[in-house]
């Protein structure tokens, strides 16, 4: 018997799920979920569900870092009366950590000192997430010394991308020395989506072709052929591709040189005070929907009549539709389904409707009544009858996917 703790740490939140596993051939059994959000905009809020326990949202004080959030969650999991499987912290046998950038690691990796230091070196490529995950890894080794810590990488699923998709047309020597290439992200989610959709369609994973959209504060698109990633909209870092809550997504690379008080004068003198870290900060944290509308709440943006909100909504649709068309061609038109996932993908029925309407020429059509129904199943069909291709919504679950992979590979 093993108790797995799956942790998903973001820049302003920590989510943790507890699973029980009896053998490597058995799927993980969910026992509890806990989360703390709002770390960067206090007061933070805490939620815990375990059996009959459901705390609802509780405001908490003096919790403002990933480390303190994890300690708070761990203490409350141990104290929860409806979670007898963790009467002591040492009952936790495995801890799965979502690490956004894994560099060239092809698969999950047990975290030792060498792994930890290597991942530290990659933090600058995913500054909003890798640092958060590693902070919790460090706390885990202190609080749970007997547990096995395993890193699961968002980049691993995209290791199957062909060279033509992942290679940048720059000096090959410089690219090789500095490992400058497309890595792709949201891979843990896409692994869950691919496996779940294949099961829903009654197909083998290696026979499944989908265009998958993980749409949330961070957003990406993925082309999956024969169960394997052949392209992803994100690149060397998660900044590339689709715009997000605070990320610009794809822009002309020279744009940042104009982004100074001397705009329009991209000379060495006009950009001499623009440090690379400042440029990255602008495109990672001061762009996206927030820059256009003043809010990161996509629900508000999609329902607002404000011209800037309407523009942000239309920009997101335009960029998503562009990737759908591109990936449809990459898959040669052999597409089993267009799949929406992530917070926006699962909840924004108007957004789904507009995207599919613009993709109608490719054979995607919605049943509007189905589209407006609450998404309750892991995979739910919202296609119209007779559509050439399916349109599905998948409630992706990265914590479960890590636990499933852990159970299959780490538990006898």
**Residues annotated as part of the active site:** 154
The helix (H) or strand (E) run that includes residue 392 is strand 390-394
Please state, in angstroms and rounded to a whole number, the distance separating the CA atoms of residues 399 and 33: 10
What ranges make up the beta strands (E) of 27-129? 29-37, 44-50, 53-54, 58-60, 94-99, 109-110
The helix (H) or strand (E) run that includes residue 72 is helix 66-79
Please state, in angstroms and rounded to a whole number, the distance separating the CA atoms of residues 224 and 160: 10
Q: Burial code of 356-368, b = ≥16 C-beta within 10 A, e = fewer? A: bebbeebebbbee
Longest dimension (CA), the chain: 65
Please state, in angstroms and rounded to a whole number, the distance separating the CA atoms of residues 342 and 202: 23
Q: What is the DSSP letter of 44?
A: E
The backbone torsions φ and ψ at residue 393, rounded to the nearest 5 degrees and listed phi first, read: -120, 130
Per the structure block, which two tokens stand in for 397? 């679950």
Residue 279, CA distances (Å) to 149, 168, 235, 284 in order? 34, 20, 17, 9
CB atoms within 10 A of CB 181: 18
- CB-based contact 298:352 (threshold 8 Å): no
């Amino acid at each position: 018997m093993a108790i797995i703790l799956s942790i998903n740490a973001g820049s302003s939140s920590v989510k943790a799920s507890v699973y029980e596993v009896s053998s490597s051939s058995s799927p993980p059994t969910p026992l509890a979920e806990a989360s703390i959000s709002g770390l960067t905009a206090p007061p933070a809020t805490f939620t815990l569900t375990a059996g009959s326990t459901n705390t609802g949202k509780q405001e908490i004080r003096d919790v403002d870092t990933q480390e303190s959030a994890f300690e708070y969650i761990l203490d409350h999991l141990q104290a929860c009366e409806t979670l007898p499987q963790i009467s002591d912290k040492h009952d936790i046998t495995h801890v799965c950590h979502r690490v956004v950038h894994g560099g060239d690691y092809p698969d999950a990796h047990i975290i030792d000192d060498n792994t930890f230091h290597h991942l530290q070196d990659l933090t600058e490529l995913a500054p909003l997430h890798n640092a958060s995950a590693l902070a919790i890894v460090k706390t885990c080794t202190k609080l749970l010394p007997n547990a096995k810590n395993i890193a699961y990488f968002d980049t691993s699923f995209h290791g199957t991308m062909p060279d033509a998709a992942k290679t940048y047309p720059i000096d090959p020597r410089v690219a090789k020395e500095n490992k400058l290439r497309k890595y792709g992200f949201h891979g843990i989610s896409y692994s869950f989506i691919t496996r779940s959709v294949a099961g829903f369609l009654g197909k083998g994973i290696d026979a499944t072709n989908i265009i998958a959209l993980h749409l949330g504060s961070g957003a990406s698109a993925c082309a999956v052929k024969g169960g394997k990633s052949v392209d992803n909209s994100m690149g060397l870092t998660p900044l590339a591709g689709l715009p997000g809550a605070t990320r610009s997504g794809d822009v002309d690379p020279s744009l940042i040189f104009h982004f100074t008080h001397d705009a329009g004068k991209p000379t060495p003198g006009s950009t001499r005070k623009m440090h690379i870290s400042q440029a990255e900060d602008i495109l990672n944290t001061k762009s996206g929907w927030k820059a256009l509308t003043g809010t990161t709440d996509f629900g508000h943006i999609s329902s607002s009549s404000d011209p800037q909100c309407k523009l942000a909504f239309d920009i997101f649709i335009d960029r998503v539709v562009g990737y759908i068309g591109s990936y449809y061609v990459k898959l040669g038109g052999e597409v089993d389904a267009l799949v929406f996932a992530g917070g926006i993908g699962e909840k924004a029925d108007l957004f789904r409707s507009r995207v599919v309407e613009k993709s109608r020429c490719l054979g995607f059509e919605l049943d509007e009544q189905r589209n407006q129904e609450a998404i309750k199943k892991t995979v739910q069909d919202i296609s119209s009858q007779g559509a050439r291709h399916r349109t599905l919504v998948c409630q992706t679950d990265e914590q479960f996917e890590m636990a499933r992979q852990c159970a299959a590979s780490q538990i006898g």
